[in-house]
Amino acid sequence: MIIVMKNDASEAQIKAVADKLVDLGLKVHRSDGEARTIIGAIGDTSKVDDIVIKYMAGVLNVVRIIEPYKLASRNFHEDSSVVEIGDIRIGAEKVIIIAGPCAVESEDQVTEIAKLIKEAGASILRGGAFKPRSSPYSFQGLGEQGLKLLHAAGKQYELPVVSEILEASHIELMDQYVDIYQVGARNMQNFWLLRELSKIRKPVLLKRGMAATIEELLMAAEYLMSGGNYNVILCERGIRTFENYTRNTMDISAIPVVKKLSHLPIIADPSHGTGIRDHVAPMARAAVAAGADGLMIEVHNNPAAALSDGPQSLLPNQFKMLMEELKIISWAIGRSV
């Protein structure tokens, strides 16, 4: 349930309501919007008397949220949330572009790509150091050495970095090198990992599972937020369907649906969404037009020799061209790239 406070509610009144809810055995989450403060009460609210709470000083209304995801719901937080990484604001007016190789392969490779994407206008550098591959014989990543190379390239070109985390034991290690933890599609419902990431305050980029519903994605976000980490970025990366002309089916409709249901920012990953280089740019353009707050795009300086996902990686000149196209589309919908 949520308790909507009056515009002129004092801090003492807000605290009194929060203390009352805690006394009733509930967890309390406070959300300060532009107009008013909302208090979320999480737990067994069946024994809570709405009337008692409603007539406490400073309370405007009491609303029971029917969605299973409480903290991620727009009913809890009416204003769209913005996740900040330095001066980069994901969920604000600017569409944030995250780009880089699927996997960090060498110092020369990741440094050159970082330079290319920075010049083209990208804001964040991506690169995998730990790679969850379908085959145990495929390239699994460089591990900590890959993180060091990614971090160094990001620092050289003033780009925050994001990399995928596979297990909770890697949190402390990765904290030295990354600005954003990525939870991949295969780990979207790894609830133990999500609980551990809920204890940190660095942003978490949460990708939709390969066969996950939108509600399941939002419930996974709820795990992160329930532990106090509100810096959650959702990512639509395509789902597995019966169609085999693309690697996945890019669910563009998920973007406006999530925007309506949740206050969390959502970006799109057209590289994994299609798995085919020629389809990445059209889906990227469509995602921005649909309201995505950002894009994650794989770029490689030599895709033919890439150790991971070469067929879906854009060439540098293709990425530059796409960035110019996105400027036009974002301008048409009142945003920028």
Average pLDDT over residues 62-86: 90
In this predicted structure, the answer to whether residue 24 has a pLDDT above a threshold of 70 is yes
Instruction: Write out pLDDT tens, residues 210-268.
Output: 999 999 999 999 999 988 899 999 999 999 999 999 999 999 999 999 999 999 999 99
Question: Phi/psi of residue 182, each to 5°?
Answer: -105, 130
Given CATH 3.30.70.1140, say whether it is the number of domain 2-63.
yes
What Cα–Cα distance (Å) separates residue 201 from each residue in 45, 124, 217, 296? 27, 18, 20, 22
Q: Which of 195-199, 213-217, 286-290, 304-308 has the lowest mean pLDDT?
A: 304-308
pLDDT at 137: 64
**Nearest-angstrom CA–CA distance, 156 and 133:** 29
pLDDT at 140: 76
Average pLDDT over residues 104-108: 95
In this predicted structure, the answer to whether residue 44 has a pLDDT above a threshold of 80 is yes
Through-space distance between the first and last CA atoms of the chain, rounded to whole angstroms: 37
Residues near 30 by beta carbon (within 8 Å), at least 6 away in sequence: 14, 18, 37, 38, 39, 40
Superfamily designation of domain 83-332: Aldolase class I (3.20.20.70)
In this predicted structure, the answer to whether residue 39 has a pLDDT above a threshold of 80 is yes
Average pLDDT over residues 10-18: 94
When comparing pLDDT for 322 and 70, which is higher?
322
User: What token pair was written down for 256?
Assistant: 């406006």
**Is-contact 177 198, C-beta < 8 A?**
no
Instruction: Write out pLDDT tens, residues 127-147.
Output: 999 977 677 767 778 899 999
Counting residues of the chain whose pLDDT is more than 90, the rounded percentage is 80
Residues of the chain with CATH 3.20.20.70: 83-332
**Nearest-angstrom CA–CA distance, 242 and 157:** 42
Residue with tokens 């994605």: 217
Structure confidence at residue 176 as a pLDDT band (50, 70, 90): very high
**Is-contact 81 264, C-beta < 8 A?**
yes
In this predicted structure, the answer to whether residue 14 has a pLDDT above a threshold of 80 is yes
Average pLDDT, the chain: 94
Q: Within 13 A of 118's CA, how many CA atoms are on the CB side? A: 16
Q: What is the pTM of this model?
A: 0.90
Residues of the chain with CATH 3.30.70.1140: 2-63
Instruction: Identify the H or E element spanning 294.
Output: strand 294-298
pLDDT at 33: 75
Surface-to-core class of residue 249, CB atoms within 10 Å of its CB (0-12 exposed, 13-18 middle, 19+ buried) = middle
